[in-house]
Structure 1
Amino acid sequence: MNGLLMPLQYAFMQRGMIAAVLVGLLCAVIGCYVVLRSMAFLGDALAHAILPGVAIAYLVNGNLLVGALIAAILVALAIGFFTHGGTVREDTAIGILFSAALALGVALISSIRSYAVDLSHIIFGNVLGVGPNDLLLIAALTLIVLLAVVLLFRPFFVISFDPVMARTLRLPVGLLSNLLLVLLALTIVVSMQTVGIGLVAAMLVTPGATAYLLTRRLAPMMAIAAGIGVVSSIVGLYLSYYLNIVSGSAIVLVATVFFLLAFFFAPQKGWAWQRLHALRR
């Protein structure tokens, strides 16, 4: 018990724990749509596309999270614009904008002499560096995204599983798809300081993919993924504290362990269950 409570005596650890839990919950919920819609590449692209916003905010002494937020939303909307009407395939638009944003970000960051020290936490995450204002912004964005998911659960469900039916029902498919892109962008920005842009795609995909091995219904999938995301964040943060390793890496590794357990031992679908069933035949 002392080992669990001792780290929480520090204010920075308390803020870090709250931020990690919020990020684990949010990434897991949005990650279910990422898994179902095969948007893993998009999540990774948006994560790296925030670099220009971070660099510009740093150059003008602005808030890095706000800069990242603006860049992520602009890139998400640009992807929706170029793919509207099928003029350009989504994967093509993602590849072009991802490369352009990444190149611009690297060009801007390379002009900053101290970028290796000052911006390294953006790449690798630094949950223990979350300040009071950062925590408020993270909490606000988390609330906005989760509220949108709850209010638009059925429309998002329809466009994720059957876009043709969505058009038959006269749902604004383009608008809903763009909104989902914006929510994904917000989630990435929220996760930036906790796991870093290099690992945020893993937190978007891994809990959702793990839950997908355990259920095929969206609501239970989100609940299971949320539990995995929260537990992974808490356990990973404790591991980073006691083992003195990067928090983002620890959180992702814990989530990966849950995925491996589900992959091998999930009832009916796990590798071990399938091998056992094959032997019995």
Structure 2
Amino acid sequence: MRAVRIFFFLLLCASSFACAGEKDYLVTIETSHGKIVAVLFDDTPEHKSNFIKLAEAGRFDSTEFQRVMKDFMIQGGDVFTKENLPPQDWPTLPAEIRPHYFHKKGMIAAARQPDGINPDRRSNGSQFYITIGKVYDELELTTDMGELQKSLMKYMELGSQAALREKYIRLYNEEKYDSLTALILSKRDELEKSLNVNLTKDFTAEQIEAYTTIGGVPHLDKEYTVFGEVIQGLEVAEEISNVPTGYRDRPNEPILMTVKVEKMSRKKIEKNYGYSYPNEN
């Protein structure tokens, strides 16, 4: 019996040591605006492995954040254009869209071609984006705004809704769009009941908490592969998103990047960056 207890004690110690010493790749993106530090997710292995290989080979270096949009995202890492590879020869990655990863501020996801020419939602083999987004009111977040607008148009055709129709037209003509949005949202429950329609989007409690506090880009959820997260320097990404841009949202002044990866124990990453690894299911 004593030998059995010693065996399990040693097994526990070995397991604890392995966990404490388990290492991960820490990603550092250097730009003229500062440094962005990130980790990549284990349960998106194709994307994680591909990113690490490109970074270790130095292929990201001297690429740009070539598309930036305020309150939306910054996109970069166009390795294949830098290497003069014809677009038709650009490699892609299989989609690894996981429902537990969503586009809250600071998440890293893979760019891709639209569904019309890419029904499998395969990712671009190098380009990635960092989400910025905005903070949402919960009612706006959980409402299907397109369907709400269509239902309201139908509702205002009723003779009993003349006053609502007049108010809507007045706010529109006065370009009071915030007030107009508030008016439309205030009618959601009434429209659902009167027209027997569902205008509510389903979000998890975690999504609602994130999108109504730190913000993000919810309409991209379940559409693109999210494969990493910024753990330091998110303010740098946000600063980049605010730079002046020209044609196709390209910064007027190039924003070059250098990308490095280094192995570090997960315990040290959590301690140094205040990061908690997600439960990857």
TM-score (norm 1): 0.23
The structure with the greater share of residues assigned to helix is 1
Whose Rg is larger? 2
